[in-house]
Structure formats: structure tokens, C-alpha cells
Structure 1
Amino acid sequence: MLRQLYAQRRLDTDYVFVNPKTGKRLTEFKRRFIKALRKAGIRDFRFHDLRHTFASQLIMKGADLKTVQELLGHRTLAMTLRYSHHKKR
């Protein structure tokens, strides 16, 4: 789905969250994310942590490591394993 949306954009940028008029990254998004964390009482959490959560959730739901590697854009499987803090059940 994200690949389809990305392909439909008419902006020449690799950023996901961009200003549709300028194509530049949204700095306001980061401020709003931090504000939401504070409001929710969440500490010690960075936007980048969502990549780790994404990888871990995929693996816990049965996705194979190669697919996760491709989705995260990692060149090596070793890097993907660093992102996948999955728990065995």
C-alpha cells in the first residue's frame, strides 16, 4: 500500500512525511509527535523506535526475515536482526 501511494506522488523525494507543496520534510510532524508523547505520559521514546516496533511486530506475526529486511531497506540480515526485538511464545 505504501509503495502504491509513494508511486502516485509527484514529488521527487525519499521522505515519507512531506509538505505536499514544497516536497520538503515535515518538521512540524516531529514536534507534534513529541507533544503527543508528553501528553500520553510516554518517556524515553523516539520516532525511530517505531522502526524497531514495526520489525518486531512483523516477525512476531510470522513474517519471514527476508521480507522484513526488504521493508526496512536493510542491506544485511544482521541489521534487520538488530531491529527485531521479538519475544518467543
Structure 2
Amino acid sequence: MIRIQIRTGRIEKRELEFDEVFFISSKNNPMNRTSIRHMVVEIGNLAGIRNVHPHRLRHTFASELAFQGASEFEIMKLLGQTSSSMATKYVHSANMASNRVSVVNLIKKK
């Protein structure tokens, strides 16, 4: 369920159709991929964060899911992927990072 603000200001809860507009501009026009990318890059720059773009946000989301223990299947479904190859990489990366943290903690204890 996605909350959609209608132009009248009321909130309507309903299923979002696949081909419906999700992002709209300040002028209530649909935003295309280029407009969305530009907006994300600009917000990143204003926040002082370099190299921010929609794909990086998607990657960060998937990585965080893996770090929090989501399965390959869960990641794959949330990202809308039909193959688990990328989800496998996210889970593997999370496991490697977890192992590095464990080693660092062992060293600190000595």
C-alpha cells in the first residue's frame, strides 16, 4: 500500500498501478528518469555527499538489507529482480564485512 497525495491535499490509500507516475515535479508534471537522477544528484550535492545517484541509493538499500540479515530471495523480490545473482553478491559482501568486523573486534580484545 502506498500513500498518494492527491492535488486536493487529501491522502488516498490504494494499490499503485505499475505504469502510474510515482514522482511528480513541483509543477505537478510527471518526472522522467533524467529528471529524477538530476534531482537526486542535486540533493546529494546540497548535502555535501558526492557521487549520489538513484542506482547508488538502490545499491545502498540492497546492501543494508543484506547487513540486516535479509535473505537473497527477500532482496531479489524487493528489488524486483528475476535472478538472484545480484542478491547473492549483496549477501556475500555483507558476510565479508561482518567477518572483517569480527576480526577487528578480536584484535581489539587482545
Give the TM-score, by structure 1 length.
Answer: 0.66
> Which runs of 5 or more residues in structure 2 are unaligned?
4-12, 102-110
Asked if the contact 2:2/2:16 (under 8 Å) is kept, the reply is no
Q: Please tell me whether Structure 1 or Structure 2 has the larger radius of gyration of its CA atoms.
A: 2
Asked if the contact 2:37/2:53 (under 8 Å) is kept, the reply is no
Decide which structure has greater strand share.
Answer: 2
> Which runs of 5 or more residues in structure 1 are unaligned?
none
CA RMSD of aligned residues (A): 3.0
Q: 1:10 deviation in Å?
A: 6.5
SS at match of 2:50: coil
- Report percent identity of matched pairs: 25
AA paired with 1:49?
Answer: R
Q: Are 2:2 and 1:5 equivalent residues in the alignment?
A: yes
SS at match of 2:54: coil
Give matches, 1:34-73, under 5 Å: 34-73=41-80
Runs of 4+ in 1 over 6 A off after TM superposition: none
- Structure 1 residues 44 and 11, CA, compared in 2 at 3 Å: closer, same or farther? same
AA paired with 1:17?
Answer: F
Q: Following the alignment from structure 2 to structure 1, what is the Cα–Cα distance between the partners of residues 84 and 52? A: 25
